[in-house]
Amino acid sequence: MSLLRLRAALLGPARLRGAGIPWSVLRNYSSASAKEKARRNAICERTELLEVLKARAKQLQASNVPEVTVNKVELAPLGNDKYQDPLRKVVAPGVAEEQPAPRGRDESPARPSSWVEKLKKEMYIRQLKVERKLSIAASQLAREGQAKAKPKAKAKPKAKAKPKAEAKPKAEAKPKAEAKPKAEAKPKAEAKPKAEAKPKAEAKPKVEAKPKAKAKAKAKAKKSQKSLKSPEAPKAPKAKVAAAWSQSHAGPHGLYAHRKPRVAAVKEGAKAQWPRRVLEHKDSGQYKILQQTIQSSLECFLFLQQPEEAERFLLLYHSSPVKRRLLSVNAYNIVMRSWARKGCLQRINQLFSMLESVGLRPSLDSYAAALECMGRNQSSTKAVWRCVQQLKNDGFHVDELFQKCLFEEDEKEKVLRAIRIVQPNYQLPPPPKPQTCKSSLLQDFYSKEKMVPYPKLDFTVQELQERFQQQLEMELDNTVTIESVESTKPLTPQAIKARKLLATLRSQWHDSILQALQKSKCSMSKLKTVSGYNILYPYLCLMPDEEYVGIMLQILNTLSPQGESLAVLARELGSKIYNRYITQRKLRSRQLEKVQEVYEEYIHLLAKDSQPDKYLPREYWEKLVAEAGFGPSLNLKDCSWPYMLLMRLGMHMLELLVQAVKVPRNVLNPHLEPRFIPVLYHVYSFHSSWQVGLIKPHPIFSQIVSDAAETLLTFNSSAIPMLCPPVPWTSPHFGAFVLNDTKLMRFVDGAVQHQLLLEQCPPVNLHPVLDALNQLGNCAWKINQPVLDIIISIFNDKGNEKLDIPPPISEAPRPPAAPSNSSTCNKSQKHELLLCKKKTAEMHSLRMDALYKLSIANYIRDKVFWFPHNMDFRGRTYPCPPYFNHLGNDVTRAILLFAEGKPLGPKGLDWLKIHLINLTGLKKKNALQERLEYANEIMEEILDSADHPLTGRKWWMNTDEPWQALACCMEIAKASRSPDPAAYISHFPVHQDGSCNGLQHYAALGRDLIGAMSVNLMPCSVPQDVYSAVAQQVEEFRKKDAEQGVKIAQVLQGFVSRKVVKQTVMTVVYGVTRYGGRLQMEKRLKEIDEFPEEYLWEASHYLVKQVFNGIKEMFSATRDIQNWLTESAKLIAQSGRTVEWVTPLGLPIVQPYYRSRSTVLNCSMQNLSVKTSNGNQKPDTVKQKNAFPPNFIHSLDSTHMMLTALHCLRQGLTFVSVHDCYWTHALTVDVMNQICRQQFVALHSEKILQDLSEFMLEKYCSPGRETRALWQKKLMEQLSNVPKTGKFNLKKVMDSTYFFS
């Protein structure tokens, strides 16, 4: 690993790069032109050498581990005034000066060897020489700049418009303020996390370097600052050189992070133009994120009931002509609402004047705030009349206040009171008439004549109310602590001792984290008097300090011994704080009270002891909300925090955690020195050419946790299935959990385009999707206790990898014993060691995943529960609780049963037997009747498996899905032994699976006759197996080539099978490339022991080519459609647009693939390179092109599933799905099969490809324009050329037994 470290050191200054920032990115920070690069080479080479030497020295001192370790307790963030800066004192350098961090109690500094000291001194002297040369260059530049600036003294005020010039107005004016430590000075750099964090962080050294500098240096620095503020300063070539140098080598982790002010000032001037560019592009992603950050900060002040602070924060931006552009009407409205709650009408009037002064027009929310304030004050009739008149003059109507504005607490009542001052008889406008979805696919479903009462649950109103209260209490607590399934193990004395020790340590950590948090907040609060706000400060005041500490300790308790990525932990911490804040907002706004009132009425639709109602859950909820009239709105005003802000907040919490949590070094070994050491370490790990920051626990901590073998697990309440029916989805913002914030559509961090698209979509178009999600979420579940108990017993008895029960880490392979002389450790031993480590990490991950699933299942073993659902951007549905749900593996599915039972009926037992044989994977090519006969033949094995699962002949263990097979054996045993099997009440879900569902959709789209036969769209006496058909086709190609003497075709004789080609055939439809297909083939061939290894590459290359040829021949229409979709997406993406379409159910879809830009988040621990994706960046052409065919097909399979779900609801069936696998009771399998086929035919009877073509022509080719660009003509031609269809008759699907089976 030392070679790896040296390579890292030679690549560039490791600490400068931080985690995940390649050198190429840093190089791009340089703003120097190509001609000027030669002029700076000498300086750069010397400084790079210094950085390399310093990095190498640090790495050689580190312990011999694969990561470059940085102890954050012993390394202070550079730029902090509390710590010594070696260049501030012009004295002989000593080792002490290279240790800039304060040490914890009882800590002794490491003692470097004499060569290290010499190296440091040598480096230091070189450093000083370079610095002096730079100082001379900077002072010359300052004098030149001053000479140029004198004739243009009047130009100075203009410079004030530059964001950089305004970064620290007070700090520049008051030298005293400049002595503030970094903890206080840095926050201003954080004010605009994404766009301006870098320039402002770089402005910081100027402030920090002054206090101990000579008076002469001060004067020069001031002169250089003045010269830089003149408009001409950035044009100076020397400024560019210096700026380029400083950008390449400075920063919070560079050697020159806080040097003399002249260099920093040059840099400041060079960077001043950048924020201006951001502010000039109002549609840019950076601009929107800055705007969102300002608004979320103002929302914090509103929540904290601090209108003075909110206004002061607003004025920081309003008073600057440049920053003012970031303020939208919403920002002013938030401050108005703050004052409205206090009844300060005068302040609201001032804000109206401010709006007018910047040319912004008041919105409805502005008038709502003014009228709310008047309602609180009982203002005069004249004042209210004037406000109402102004509202009308601006083109609004009074009714719109109540139709379009969102209200919290008693705001609605106060606005109404104000209006009644001038219109005493004014009544609230009636709620809008419910609109009905006009989709041709759902005319019958939404027809009032054919409406049937909503099916009832087997619960009374009282029982559902009790369950709702349990769910509410769980969500109010935010977290749920449950017993682990490992708790049945007996306690050892060692575990008791470790638990006591851990409890003591946690108590101490709680106090030290609390102290660190309070200290951090105190230093931030003092900043208010200096230069504005630390952007994080209000976010640290939203809850009691204890809650923040609890969140940090929760993260500490769940940290894996292998450590976790810094970015992942930061995001998790930030998200937890945001979720708590949302919960508090819902409580404060009285939204929760209203949800409770409405839910108590809503359960009458579902309870068995109330009158049946012909409403859907969404319709009934909307009706109840409309009847409730007064009170807060159920949707909160948008208060989402930008992703970069979440990351910054999470990083701050993580820094506090690393800094505060310590453990005595001798806690496990009394013979060691009794000093405190950090529990958490910040280390870097190399992933390819990137460095990734990790937080790792100290082995002492991991050992204590391991010894304690704690049996309590803590989860977010949203990770547990709901204990009551979910709140129905009524809009993209509202549904699922009672309190937990849930998005209708899942998307990658930082992406907002999906949410915007949903908000712009007419609500009626989303009704089918919302109703389908509600139908899936309203399915009640319970636990299959006998199966769960067997699984837990194996889990606690060292697991069983064959049965997919992960063994504990104690079963992990032991690393080879290291030789006494570590230098003799050869390459193979190192490789073996790495493999052992990798295997251990994998085993830990799998074991914890199984532990979480089984523990949650055990926690709700006696309860009935529900899975609220949401969807991905293609419309595919997913349960919201992440760990335990029916989308899980074989183990999870085996322990789930429908809570509602139904009799088996005349054919139910047969369906159970067929389902069992399907789970074994033994008779895939046989007819259903043959599968049933086989089940009857092996009845003895089935009953033995049910009666003696772990002691009998264990037939169930040798099946494809062993645990589901065992559960099915038990159900068949109970049913067949009951007096009347047809009357036996079964809770067991029976599955019907699509036959290569992606190809089914392609074959139906292209009316492809041969393709339709291959994937069972045509009726047939036995199931057609597309994988075997392709394998047969490939074998024919191989035989021909072998006869012609192709060597690899001869080698492959006897090796072409269904198993080898299956994965590639399955994924071709989802856009797998030849490269990916080759890797799949290679993997399958590797599994065949007899296959000669030397031919792997050549054979897989040959096979993938033949598979693609076979599919092309068999599915000609499929390939045509796939090519048409791919080419269309390519042309759209090349035009700079993203691919969008609307599903046949009306769901708008946009592909979220952009050329993601990394934003560097400057944090004291390390720089984080955060990839952000938003609609203002250019689309990623390759991803847009390759992903469109599979995404389009996924959107069709989700549409088919939703249609089936809605029509099953009308027939009174229980229905859930796992994408293209549909579940129902054994009694209703035949009915579900009929509906499934009807809806497939109905869906593909629509003109899907023609509709897509028309939609895209209208969206991308602007038909009204006479002159079109060449790309538009090409795109028009491509989109208009819809692939021709074949002769397949879709109606045949209705009679196909094996379409879904």
- Active-site residues, by number, are 993, 1062, 1220
Q: Which of 692, 684, 697, 691 is nearest to 657 (CA)?
A: 697
1017: which residues sit within 8 A by CB, 6+ positions away? Answer: 1000, 1003, 1004, 1288, 1292, 1293, 1296, 1299
Tokens found for residue 310 = 């909110």
Q: What is the DSSP track for 205-248?
A: HHHHHSTTS-HHHHHHHHHHHHHHHSTTGGG-HHHHHHHHHHHH
Backbone angles phi, psi at 433, to 5 degrees: -65, 135
Environment class of residue 431 by beta-carbon count within 10 Å: exposed (0-12), middle (13-18) or buried (19+)?
A: middle
β 1157-1161/1168-1172 pair status: antiparallel
Backbone angles phi, psi at 330, to 5 degrees: -60, -40
User: Cα separations (Å) of 1062 from 20, 1066, 1113?
Assistant: 37, 6, 17
In this structure, are residues 77 and 27 in contact, taking their beta carbons and an 8 Å threshold?
no
Which SS3 state, helix, strand or coil, does residue 270 take? helix
> What is residue 1218's DSSP assignment?
E
In the chain, the largest separation of any two C-alpha atoms, in whole Å, equals 107
870/876 Cα distance (integer angstroms): 8
Q: What is the DSSP track for 521-572?
A: HHHHHHTHHHHS--TTGGGGSSS-HHHHHHHHHHHHHT--TT-EEHHHHHHH
Which SS3 state, helix, strand or coil, does residue 984 take? coil
C-alpha angle 7/8/12, rounded to 5°? 110
Buried b (16+ CB within 10 A) or exposed e, 512-549: bbbebbeebbebbeebeebbbbbbbbbbbbbbeeebbb
Q: H helices of 1172-1214, where?
A: 1181-1210
| Residue type (1 letter), 1266 | E
1113/1116 Cα distance (integer angstroms): 6
193/196 Cα distance (integer angstroms): 6
| Locus of tokens 């080609």 | 1061
Buried b (16+ CB within 10 A) or exposed e, 1152-1166: bbbebbebbbbbbbb
Tokens found for residue 832 = 């073996």
679: which residues sit within 8 A by CB, 6+ positions away? Answer: 509, 556, 661, 662, 663, 697, 698, 700, 701
Q: Which of 161, 764, 655, 185 is nearest to 432 (CA)?
A: 764
> What is residue 322's DSSP assignment?
T
Measured from the Cβ of residue 707, the count of other Cβ atoms closer than 10 Å reads 18
Which SS3 state, helix, strand or coil, does residue 1174 take? coil
Helix (H) or strand (E) holding 588: helix 566-588
Backbone angles phi, psi at 684, to 5 degrees: -110, 140
| Residue type (1 letter), 321 | P
Measured from the Cβ of residue 783, the count of other Cβ atoms closer than 10 Å reads 22
377/118 Cα distance (integer angstroms): 75
959/934 Cα distance (integer angstroms): 14
In this structure, are residues 163 and 202 in contact, taking their beta carbons and an 8 Å threshold?
no
